[in-house]
Structure 1
Amino acid sequence: MTLLGRILHNRRAGEAHTAWNLPSLHSAEALTLTSRDFGDGDPMPLEHCLKNIGGANLSPHLAWTPPPAGTAQLLLVMEDIDVPLAKPAVHCVALIDPAARHLEPGALDARQPAAGVQVLRSTIGRGYHGPGPIKGHGPHHYVFQLFALATRLDSTPGTTRPDRARPRALLSAITTPVLARARLTATFER
């Protein structure tokens, strides 16, 4: 696997196609997103990585400042911007009750999400999927992005239900105003 990582070393998705850069998800107002498990730009602890590389695939603790008045739903997206594909890999998508101010470790589990959390499809499957980059590919950046939405995604008639939509299709179809947003980046390298 190290050889494959070296061959693909310069191939990376980049930031251009992240949820953060979609015009429909821009916002002037900012939230603050933090974790007690890592700081912005710091390495992701192994327990939050995939089981096949020795982790527990446990979603990390996340906390945020109160969203603006009128927030109907929070959208959380985690993407690997260094995956050797044309677009970042979506590792997690979740809808969160706007009254929540944090998620404890494991809250994004596909089988037993925390109260007020609805886990959706990602590139890999439903729920949280931690880092597990190709060995030797270099550092990968995992960007957690939180969006305060003015309308619930499941309240628009005639659209695909969020729990059935593919992640890129869901993100591209969002038309509700984004009232505020935040991001937090962790790294991991094998």
Structure 2
Amino acid sequence: MLAFGISIIHIFRYILFILFKGARMKISSDSFRGGDAIDARHAMKAIRGGQNISPHLVISGVPAGAKTLAVACIDRHPMAQGWVHWMAVNLPADTAFISEGASGKSMPRGSLELGNTFGAQGYGGPQPPRGSGRHAYEFTVYAVSEILRVADRRMGESELLELMRGKILANDSITGYFENK
């Protein structure tokens, strides 16, 4: 009986592992693969081929208890010093994707796009200085436990993180690269 009880426990643990292994929050994109180059159409219009189209993002594994999502795109190149390309908050927690080109047009209901470092609201694509090398654009999705009260849409990444402090249930990132040769 003891051997049977132990094997049932092992089976139960294995089933739980299988069920919840894939439940980790995840962000991906149909516009680019993580670790690959971002297509020029997503870059600012000043870049050859640039159309400033926000990329398609897929969100899965949002934990129970999340009330909203937040999304940020930050240039992680040392020269960029945390340049904000896109931040949006209060996306519904059941958001499964953000359509390509949604910024400024068709964001999920209730979402609020914040200012970027270019001085505009919404998405501002890659526009690294010519010859500055390959820049890493990190797209992060955050599961947030409550609706965020935004007093000023002009904020940097550190202010967004401060606003979400103690409220982030999970997050995941995907990084794409762009170089202005």
Instruction: Pick the TM interval, shorter chain.
Output: 0.7 to 0.9
Partner of 1:108: 103
2:121 aligned with 1:131, yes or no?
Answer: no
**Structure 1 residue runs of 4 or more that deviate by more than 6 Å after TM superposition:** none
Q: Confirm or deny: 8 A CA contact 1:83 1:89 kept in the other structure.
A: no
Partner of 2:82: 88
Partner of 2:153: 164
Matched residue type, 1:144: F
Determine helix, strand or coil for the equivalent of 1:144.
Answer: strand
CA-based RMSD: 1.7
Partner of 2:69: 74
Relative to the length of structure 2, the TM-score reads 0.78
Measured in 1, the distance between the counterparts of 2:108 and 2:168 equals: 23
Partner of 2:41: 47
Structure with bigger RCO (C-alpha 8 Å, 6+ apart): 1
Q: Offset of 1:37 from its aligned partner?
A: 1.3
Residues 66-99 of structure 1, C-alpha deviations (whole Å, 9 max, x = no match): 31111111010100011515x3101100021111
Task: Structure 1: state its 5+ residue gaps.
Answer: 1-28, 155-159
Determine helix, strand or coil for the equivalent of 2:46.
Answer: helix
Measured in 2, the distance between the counterparts of 1:120 and 1:144 equals: 15
Q: Offset of 1:151 from its aligned partner?
A: 1.0
In percent, how many aligned pairs have the same letter?
A: 30
Determine helix, strand or coil for the equivalent of 2:172.
Answer: strand
Q: Confirm or deny: 8 A CA contact 1:149 1:176 kept in the other structure.
A: no
Q: Confirm or deny: 8 A CA contact 2:148 2:163 kept in the other structure.
A: no
In the alignment of these two chains, the number of paired residues is 153
21, 28, 38: which one aligns with 1:34: 28
Give the number of the structure whose residues are more often helix, by fraction: 2
Relative to the length of structure 1, the TM-score reads 0.74
Greater Rg by CA? 2
